[in-house]
Amino acid sequence: MRKVLLGVGVAILAGVPTVSYQVSRGNSDLKQVLAKPLVKQELVPTVFSGSSSYVYDNVIYVLGGSGDSLRRRFAKAAELYKQGLAKKILMHSDDMLMEYSPSIGRNLSHNEWATGKLAGFGVKEEDIEFVVVKDVLWGTFSEAKTLSNVVSRRGYGSLILVSSDYHTARVWYSFSKLMRRHNVNLYIYPVKDDPTTYMLLQELIKLACYRVFL
């Protein structure tokens, strides 16, 4: 069985088209089995919710992702923000262009688009901040490295992470590994997503690679 999974993993990383077709035939039971080790949840204790000193000591970070996935993550981040768990929401700055805006006659930048979506969920624009992640080779790990420096420099007491559910195990592994040197509480909120079987297999391979190489 281990050899079979290894073979599938190698094929996925190599981008073999036939693998995508074969794994897409998997049913929901298989997806549940694959997703289980990929999900991590660590919630803020309810005893701290609403405490003004606690709120200003916290920050929420939304992991980067695609448009539809980001909308769901923004909704969760805004929910936590309005619950009083943090005063500020950070996210990955990006130069890519998003959808066209008839009102301004051009495509919105990623940061403009993200600000508009979060504002639409009730987040004040002054409480939204973008963080530049310079080294994107390792994606999630690069975000973790950047945020660990930001959190340390600003003296935040807690970092609340928001990402798609099947991405949270890798997020937690990356951030917890780098936050060990800082006296910071770490929490993570998974957001329900709908990945394909192929995407779940990819994520399993990525998680394994992180654990081996990082």
* 85 in a structural domain: yes
Rounded to an integer, what distance in angstroms lies between the CA atom of residue 210 and that of residue 213? 5
Rounded to an integer, what distance in angstroms lies between the CA atom of residue 88 and that of residue 77? 10
* 16 in a structural domain: no
Task: Write out the residue range of the structural domain in which residue 124 sits.
Answer: 39-195
Q: Are 191 and 162 in contact (CB under 8 A)?
A: yes
Rounded to an integer, what distance in angstroms lies between the CA atom of residue 88 and that of residue 62? 11
Look at the block and give the residue holding tokens 């979506």.
117
Q: Nearest to residue 162, comparing CAs of 56, 87, 89?
A: 89
- Report pLDDT digits (tens) over 89-141: 999 999 899 999 998 999 999 999 999 999 999 999 999 999 998 776 678 99
* 125 in a structural domain: yes
The model carries a pTM of 0.84
* 30 in a structural domain: no
Rounded to an integer, what distance in angstroms lies between the CA atom of residue 50 and that of residue 198? 41
* 60 in a structural domain: yes
- The string of DSSP letters for 3-27 reads HHHHHHHHHHHHT-HHHHHHHTT--
Residues whose CB falls within 8 Å of the CB of residue 32, separated by 6 or more in sequence, listed in order = none
Q: Nearest to residue 179, comparing CAs of 136, 139, 212, 149?
A: 149
* Number of folded domains that form the chain: 1
Residues whose CB falls within 8 Å of the CB of residue 207, separated by 6 or more in sequence, listed in order = 37, 38, 169, 170, 173
* 151 in a structural domain: yes
CATH number at residue 57: 3.40.50.620
- Report pLDDT digits (tens) over 37-85: 999 999 998 765 555 555 668 999 999 888 789 999 999 999 999 999 9
